[in-house]
Every structure is written in C-alpha cells, then in structure tokens.
Amino acid sequence: MALTSEQQASVDMAIAIETSRAEGQATAQAASDAKRIKLEALRLAKEVLIENARYKSVDSRDVTATDITTFATTLTTYINS
C-alpha cells in the first residue's frame, strides 16, 4: 500500500526529527563522557602524586595544582591515544 505524498512527507519529517534528536543525544553523551574521563584523570593524578609524596622527605612533599593538572593531562592523553 503506497502512501500519499502528504503521508510520505510526514514520515520523512518524523524520521528527520528522530535522526536529529539521536545525533544530539550522542553528541551530549560524548561531551559528558569526556568530562567524566577528565575528572577521573584529575582524581587519579592527585591520589598518585599525594601517595608518592608520602615516601619523600618532609621538606620535599609539596604537591602543587600544576603537578596534578600536568599529570592528569598526561593520563588523559595516554587514554585517548
């Protein structure tokens, strides 16, 4: 059974809307995943650097935010490669 041109246009529009919605969700999910990975890398970098600092002498135990972000960037780059 063939659709009228009006019905076909309606079906085509519904398909286009659904495709656009699905692509938007995929983009939003990818952005959310990227942020989650970045936050997890920061958490892991902080834990590793602080744990490693425990085994250094007292005067060299400082861990800076720059140290953490640099290590987190390294981890994220490795994960994404």
pLDDT of residue 61: 85
pLDDT, mean of residues 58-63: 86
pTM over 0.75: no
Span 47-56, average pLDDT: 92
Tokens found for residue 40:
């997890």
Identity of residue 66: T
Over residues 4-19, mean pLDDT = 91
Mean pLDDT of the chain: 90
Structure tokens given for 43: 């958490």
> What's the rounded Cα separation, in Å, for the pair 54 and 70?
19
Residue 2 confidence (pLDDT): 84
The Cα 67–Cα 69 span in angstroms is 6
Looking at residue 60, the DSSP 8-state letter turns out to be G
